[in-house]
Structure 1
Amino acid sequence: EIVLKAREAGLAGATVLRGVMGFGRHSLIHTTKILRLSEDMPMVVEVVDSLEKIEAFLPVLDELITEGLVTVERVKVIHYRG
């Protein structure tokens, strides 16, 4: 739903990355099983745009996210075109 809301907000892009192994605050290792993705696997949603547009989108995340982390990072974008 975050990706859909980011698109509706006109942000430059969004990608969902799903982990195959990870652990959280309780240090329990979670892994995927063959032919099945575990419900509690780590997930990263990256949304890219200017700082101003990302900051304007943060209240939307407040409504959508009940548990997790949000980080705002400055990045250098290098765009290759074929």
Structure 2
Amino acid sequence: MSEQAKLLRIYTDEAAYFGDRKVFEVVATRARDAKLAGATVVQALFGFGRSAHLHRPHLLEDDQSLVIEIVDAEASLRAFAASLGDIEGIGLITLEAVEVLGGDNIGGAIA
């Protein structure tokens, strides 16, 4: 049986810090603390954003683009995204419909 869910994508990069922690670690920890179904951090091979700065692998730098993906119920994801307003270093945040075909039941959050 398929379930309707939403996919939250948060764009950042490896070089972004919030205090003394990397932004992607802070976001993933907050997602766990918010009891969201799970978070995956995906490293891009190449990327750029509004500034047109190219993020790509480099021997001496950690500056690759990252995408944090979280699938859960829409209300939970909207509330979570709103809670990230204090974190600098987050770029684009998107929310889109997805259909969960298998795997875990997203913690029962999706009817």
Query: Structure 2 length normalisation: TM-score?
Result: 0.60
- 1:32 aligns to 2:53 (yes or no): no
Query: Percent identity of the aligned residues?
Result: 35
Tell me, yes or no, if structure 1 residue 8 matches structure 2 residue 59. no
Higher relative contact order (CA 8 A, sep 6+): 2
Q: How many residues align?
A: 79
Higher strand share: 2
Whole-Å separation in 2 of the counterparts to 1:46 and 1:16? 6
* Unpaired segments ≥5 residues, structure 1: none
Runs of 5+ in structure 2 lacking a partner?
1-25, 105-111
How far does residue 27 in structure 1 lie from its aligned partner after superposition? 3.9
CA RMSD across the alignment: 2.2
Q: Which runs of at least 4 in structure 1 moved beyond 6 Å after TM superposition?
A: none
3-state DSSP class of the match of 1:57?
A: helix
Q: Judging by fraction of residues, say which structure has more helix.
A: 1
Distance 1:41 1:51, change over 3 A: same
Distance 1:77-1:31 versus aligned 2 partners, 3 A rule = same
- Between 22-31 and 62-71, report the one with greater CA deviation: 22-31
Q: After superposition, what is the alpha-carbon deviation per residue over 1:21-80, rounded to whole angstroms, capped at 9, x for unaligned?
A: 12233545432035x5x4332110011110011111122221224440000111011215
